[in-house]
Amino acid sequence: MDICILGTCSGTEPFAGRHHTSWTLKTSDGLFWFDAGESCSYTAHLAGIDLLESKAIFISHPHMDHTGGLPNLFWTLGKLRAVRKVKDFPELPIYTPEPAQIQAAFAFLRPTESPFTTPVFKVKEGIIMQKPLFVEALGNGHLERGADGGARSVSYRIKAENKVIVYSGDIKEIRELDPWTGNCDLLLMENAHYDPRVICKYLAEKGSEIGRLVFLHHGRSTMKDPEGTQKDCRSLISCPVDVAFDIMTFEL
Distance, in Å, from the CA atom of 15 to the CA atom of 100, rounded to the nearest integer, reads 29
Say whether residue 98 binds Zn ion (CB under 5 A): no
Burial 213-245 (b: 16+ CB within 10 A, else e): bbbbbbbeebbeebeebbebbbebbebebbbbe
Stretch that binds Zn ion, among 26-34, 64-72, 76-84, 93-101 (CB under 5 A): 64-72
Instruction: Name the strand (E) or helix (H) holding 154.
Output: strand 154-160
Give the nearer residue to Zn ion in terms of CB position, either 92 or 216. 216
Q: How far is the CB of 165 from Zn ion (least distance, A)?
A: 19
Stretch that binds Zn ion, among 4-12, 108-116, 123-131, 207-215 (CB under 5 A): 4-12
Q: How far is the CB of 40 from Zn ion (least distance, A)?
A: 14
Report 156-185 residues binding Zn ion (CB under 5 A).
Answer: 170
Q: Which of 63, 74, 94, 243 binds Zn ion (CB under 5 A)?
A: 63
2, 249 contact by CB (below 8 A): yes
Radius of gyration of the chain (CA): 17
Say whether residue 218 binds Zn ion (CB under 5 A): no
Which residues lie closer than 8 Å to 87 by C-beta, 6 or more apart? none
Q: Which of 5, 31, 32, 65 binds Zn ion (CB under 5 A)?
A: 65
Give the nearer residue to Zn ion in terms of CB position, either 99 or 211. 99
Residue ranges that bind Zn ion, judged by CB under 5 A? 10-11, 63, 65, 170
